[in-house]
Structure 1
């Protein structure tokens, strides 16, 4: 939802989505969450802007070329992982576009590489360390005589890390 809000607040309405493979539950959950958030803002996803990737850099390049070759290409593209986002950025450069002036890109996972590419990639960060610690505590709780169902759930929501790759639509 944060990505849709961020891009809408920047004035983007032609937004592309690069999903992961169907066999990954994360692809369905992330994709549907984004679509629902767009719909709440009155922004429908043009079916031509919906691309199935493979969670790889190469599939991001392929998606970027396909989306940017459209008669009316998107002004922003959200990919469901950072590898594909960096691939989309490469495709934009291959086509002579200047990032982020000509295209805003947002990824998901906030890999270390996201802060190293140029422009620095805006990305969704999952609190993986907190999630792992919480899972370990629940697994170990019965050994300490604690009912895992009664343990307090920490806040482990994703957070948008805003960097330089998404700017207002021109």
Structure 2
């Protein structure tokens, strides 16, 4: 383990240092499960000659004297099981399983909420919306301001009232309508 501390103002270096310290500690203090299993097998083989090993905490186990090796042998099985259950790999696997269960529960809740929301909405109005074909047709049609008749954008004149023409003709017509009074002026005498 490194005795040199990182610069505390640089968070990335502090995180890297802490991870390295944790890895080094785990490597130094991690039990050798193969060695533990071999020792357990040898220990239980030597105890087998002394007689049956009672279950830990049972009345037969309590009745054994503290110096009896069978009393210790009854505690070896649960101790090794506890050691195996608390290794890094088992903890990571258990945590992965718990997180996956939480993820599945969240997805299920979101799916249920989505169904509830879609069930609460009246989707019948969607049938009254214009279809894609209607939108395409509308985009290719123009409506005459004067008579309200629909005609294609490429048509130069409205088929209903004849209004239209080239942009120059439309401009000339508009200019003439602005300069020509529609109501005759009355002369004041």
TM-score normalised over the length of structure 1: 0.24
Higher-Rg structure is 2
TM-score normalised over the length of structure 2: 0.22
Higher fraction of strand: 1
Greater relative CO (CA pairs within 8 A, separation 6+): 1
Higher fraction of helix: 2
